Structure 1
Amino acid sequence: MRPTRATVLLTAGLVTLLGVPSAAAADTPATLYVDNNRNVVDCSDDGPGSKDLPFCTISAAAKAVRPGQTVRINTASPYAEAVTIDRSGESGKPVTFVADGPTAGSLVQLSSGKALKVSGASHVVVRGLRTTGGVQVSASTDVELDRITSYSITGSPSLLVDQGSVDVRLTRSSLGYSARVEGGSRGTVLSNNKMQGVATASVDAVDAPGTIATNNTIYARCDAGVSFRGGSTGSGAFNNLIYTAPPSACANPGPRTGILVGQSAAAGTRVDYNMLAGFLPDGPGPYKWAETAYANPEALRTATGQGAHDLLASEAGGVGMTDGSPTIDSGDPTAPGVLPTDYDGYPAADDPRVPNTGKDGGYIDRGARETQDELRSVLLEVARNWAPAGTTVQTKATADHSWRLSPLTYRFDFGDGTAPVVSTAPAAEHVYRAPCACTVKVAAVDGAGRKIEHQQSIKVTPATPLATAFTAQPYLPSASDANRLVTPLSVQVDPQGAAAPWPIARMDVDYGDGAKDTGSTPDPVQHAYKQPGTYKVTVTLTDIKGATSTAERSVQVAYTPAGYVAVRPSRVLDTRTTGSPVQGGTATPIDVPVHYYSSGPHHTAGASAVVLNVTVTGATEDTHLSVWPSGQPRPVTSNVNVKAGGTSSNTVTVPVGADGKISAQLNSGKAALIVDYVGHYQPNTGQRFTPLAPTRVADTRTAGGALGGGQTRTVKVAGVNGIPADATAIAFNLTGTGSTENAHVIAYPEADKRPTTSNLNLEPGKDKSNQAIVPVGPNGTITLYTNTGSTHLVLDAVGYYAKDGKALFTPVVPQRLADTRTTGKLAPGATATVAGIPANAVGAALNVTATDTTGPGFLTVYGHGATRPEASSLNTRPGETVPNHVTTPVADGRVSVWNSHGGANHVITDLFGYFTQG
Structure 2
Amino acid sequence: MRPTRATVLLTAGLVTLLGVPTAAAADTPSTLYVNNSASATRCSDTGPGSEEAPFCTVSAGAKAARPGQTVQVLAYKPYDETVTIDRSGEPGKPISIVMRPNTGGPFRVKGLKVQGASHVVVRGLTSTGGVQVSGSTDIELDRITIASQTDPVVIGAESVDVRLTRSNLVSPVRIEGGSRGTVLGRNQIRGGIAAAVDAVGAPGTIVTNNNLYLSCDAAVSFRGASTGSGAFNNLIYISSPKACVNPDPRSGILVSRDSAAGTRADHNLLAGFPADGVVPYKWADVVHATPAALRAATGQGEHDILTPAAWDVGPWDRSPNVDSGDSAAPGVLPTDYNGYSVVDDPLAPNTGKDGGFIDRGAHELQDEVRDVQLEIAQNWAPVGTTVEVKAVADNNWPGTLTYRYDFGDGTAPVVTKSATAEHAYTSPCACTVQVKAITAAGREAFRQQPVKVTPAAPLATAFTAQPYLPSASDPNRLVKPLTVEVDPQSATAPWPVARMDVDYGDGAKETGIPFGAAQHAYKQPGSYKVTVTLTDVKGATSSAERTVQVAYTAAGFVSVHPTRVLDTRTTGSPVQGGSATPIDVPVHYYSSGPHHTAGASAVVLNVTVTGATEDTHLSVWPSGQPRPVTSNVNVKAGGTSSNTVTVPVGADGLVSAQLNSGKAAIIVDYVGHYQPNTGQRFTPLAPARVLDTRTAGGALGGGQTRTVKVAGVNGVPADATAVALNLTGTGATENAHVIAYAEADKRPATSNLNLEPGKDKSNQAIVPVGPNGTITLYTNTGSTHLILDAVGYYAKDGTGLFTPVVPQRLADTRSTGKLAPGATTTVSGIPVNAIGAALNVTATDSTGPGFLTVHGFGTARPEASSLNTRPGDTVPNHVTTPVGDGGRATVANSWGGSTHVITDLFGYFTQG
Normalising by structure 2, what TM-score? Answer: 0.90
Structure 1 residue 41 displacement after superposition: 12
1:118 aligns with 2:114: yes
Deviation per CA, 1:304-362: give whole Å up to 9, x if none.
Answer: 77655444444544310123122212333343322232223333333232233334544
SS in 1 for 2:212: strand
* Greater Cα offset, 221-230 or 493-502: 221-230
- CA–CA distance in 2 between the matches of 1:375 and 1:55? 41
Choose from 895, 903, 908 the match for 1:914: 908
SS in 2 for 1:821: helix
SS in 1 for 2:814: helix
- CA–CA distance in 1 between the matches of 2:377 and 2:705? 74
- CA–CA distance in 2 between the matches of 1:374 and 1:911? 70
* Greater Cα offset, 208-217 or 197-206: 197-206
1:487 aligns with 2:486: no
1:563 aligns with 2:562: no
Structure 1 residue 237 displacement after superposition: 2.9
Choose from 541, 565, 570 the match for 1:572: 565
1:871 aligns with 2:864: yes
1:338 aligns with 2:312: no
Structure 2 partner of 1:259: 252
Structure 1 partner of 2:87: 87
Structure 1 partner of 2:622: 629
Choose from 662, 670, 682 the match for 2:663: 670
Question: Taking structure 1 as reference, are residues 133 and 563 closer, same or farther at Cα in structure 2, changes over 3 Å only?
Answer: same
Structure 1 residue 783 displacement after superposition: 0.4
- CA–CA distance in 2 between the matches of 1:755 and 1:299? 93
- CA–CA distance in 2 between the matches of 1:845 and 1:653? 7
Asked if 2 retains the 8 angstrom alpha-carbon contact of 1:13 and 1:338, the reply is no
- CA–CA distance in 2 between the matches of 1:806 and 1:322? 67
Question: Taking structure 1 as reference, are residues 695 and 27 closer, same or farther at Cα in structure 2, changes over 3 Å only?
Answer: closer
Opposite residue 163 of structure 2, the aligned amino acid is: R
Structure 2 matches for 1:355-374, cutoff 5 A? 355-374=349-368
Structure 1 residue 263 displacement after superposition: 5.1
Structure 1 partner of 2:205: 211
Asked if 2 retains the 8 angstrom alpha-carbon contact of 1:468 and 1:539, the reply is yes
Deviation per CA, 1:96-122: give whole Å up to 9, x if none.
Answer: 41537457xx89854441x33221233
Question: Taking structure 1 as reference, are residues 25 and 846 closer, same or farther at Cα in structure 2, changes over 3 Å only?
Answer: closer
- CA–CA distance in 2 between the matches of 1:296 and 1:574? 93
Choose from 32, 35, 44 the match for 1:34: 32
Choose from 18, 40, 58 the match for 2:14: 18
Structure 1 residue 602 displacement after superposition: 4.8
Choose from 733, 755, 778 the match for 1:762: 755
Opposite residue 638 of structure 1, the aligned amino acid is: S
Structure 1 residue 62 displacement after superposition: 4.4
Asked if 1 retains the 8 angstrom alpha-carbon contact of 2:24 and 2:30, the reply is no
Structure 1 residue runs of 5 or longer lacking an equivalent are 1-10
Opposite residue 34 of structure 2, the aligned amino acid is: N
- CA–CA distance in 2 between the matches of 1:738 and 1:41? 72
- CA–CA distance in 1 between the matches of 2:241 and 2:572? 75
Deviation per CA, 1:624-658: give whole Å up to 9, x if none.
Answer: 11100111101111111222232221110001111
Asked if 2 retains the 8 angstrom alpha-carbon contact of 1:733 and 1:772, the reply is yes
Structure 2 partner of 1:137: 133
Deviation per CA, 1:69-119: give whole Å up to 9, x if none.
Answer: 2425254666665433323445x435241537457xx89854441x33221
- CA–CA distance in 2 between the matches of 1:95 and 1:433? 54
* Greater Cα offset, 36-45 or 457-466: 36-45
Asked if 1 retains the 8 angstrom alpha-carbon contact of 2:192 and 2:215, the reply is yes
Asked if 2 retains the 8 angstrom alpha-carbon contact of 1:88 and 1:94, the reply is no
Question: Taking structure 1 as reference, are residues 622 and 145 closer, same or farther at Cα in structure 2, changes over 3 Å only?
Answer: same
State percent identity of aligned pairs: 71
Asked if 1 retains the 8 angstrom alpha-carbon contact of 2:716 and 2:793, the reply is yes
Structure 2 partner of 1:3: none
- CA–CA distance in 1 between the matches of 2:430 and 2:315? 43
1:836 aligns with 2:829: yes
Structure 2 matches for 1:157-236, cutoff 5 A? 157-220=151-214, 224-236=218-230
1:688 aligns with 2:685: no
SS in 1 for 2:570: helix
Opposite residue 215 of structure 1, the aligned amino acid is: N
Question: Taking structure 1 as reference, are residues 313 and 617 closer, same or farther at Cα in structure 2, changes over 3 Å only?
Answer: farther
SS in 2 for 1:377: strand
- CA–CA distance in 2 between the matches of 1:677 and 1:451? 58
1:241 aligns with 2:239: no
Structure 1 partner of 2:144: 149
Structure 1 residue 190 displacement after superposition: 0.9
Structure 2 partner of 1:350: 344
Question: Taking structure 1 as reference, are residues 179 and 829 closer, same or farther at Cα in structure 2, changes over 3 Å only?
Answer: same
- CA–CA distance in 2 between the matches of 1:194 and 1:309? 22
Structure 2 partner of 1:6: none
Question: Taking structure 1 as reference, are residues 63 and 887 closer, same or farther at Cα in structure 2, changes over 3 Å only?
Answer: closer
- CA–CA distance in 2 between the matches of 1:507 and 1:708? 67
Choose from 426, 434, 452 the match for 1:433: 426
Structure 1 partner of 2:392: 398
Structure 1 residue 387 displacement after superposition: 1.2
SS in 1 for 2:569: helix
Asked if 2 retains the 8 angstrom alpha-carbon contact of 1:845 and 1:914, the reply is yes
1:322 aligns with 2:316: yes
* Greater Cα offset, 184-193 or 625-634: 184-193
- CA–CA distance in 1 between the matches of 2:372 and 2:575? 66
Structure 2 partner of 1:4: none
Structure 1 partner of 2:715: 722
* Greater Cα offset, 699-708 or 438-447: 438-447
Asked if 2 retains the 8 angstrom alpha-carbon contact of 1:530 and 1:631, the reply is yes
Structure 2 partner of 1:679: 672
Opposite residue 139 of structure 1, the aligned amino acid is: G
- CA–CA distance in 2 between the matches of 1:717 and 1:56? 58
Opposite residue 684 of structure 1, the aligned amino acid is: N
Question: Taking structure 1 as reference, are residues 170 and 782 closer, same or farther at Cα in structure 2, changes over 3 Å only?
Answer: same
Structure 1 residue 720 displacement after superposition: 1.3
Q: Please report the RMSD computed on the Cα atoms of aligned residues, expressed in angstroms.
A: 3.4
- CA–CA distance in 1 between the matches of 2:423 and 2:477? 43
Opposite residue 906 of structure 1, the aligned amino acid is: H
Choose from 493, 498, 518 the match for 2:491: 498
Question: Taking structure 1 as reference, are residues 747 and 183 closer, same or farther at Cα in structure 2, changes over 3 Å only?
Answer: same
Choose from 460, 485, 488 the match for 2:453: 460
* Greater Cα offset, 646-655 or 297-306: 297-306
SS in 2 for 1:479: coil
- Number of equivalent positions: 899
Structure 1 partner of 2:893: 899
Structure 1 partner of 2:3: none
Structure 1 residue 297 displacement after superposition: 5.8
SS in 1 for 2:908: strand
- CA–CA distance in 2 between the matches of 1:140 and 1:270? 26
Structure 1 residue 29 displacement after superposition: 6.9
Opposite residue 335 of structure 2, the aligned amino acid is: T
* Greater Cα offset, 309-318 or 135-144: 309-318
Normalising by structure 1, what TM-score? Answer: 0.90
Structure 2 residue runs of 5 or longer lacking an equivalent are 1-6
- CA–CA distance in 1 between the matches of 2:510 and 2:100? 56
Question: Taking structure 1 as reference, are residues 530 and 562 closer, same or farther at Cα in structure 2, changes over 3 Å only?
Answer: same
SS in 2 for 1:19: helix
Deviation per CA, 1:529-556: give whole Å up to 9, x if none.
Answer: 1111111111112111111221111111
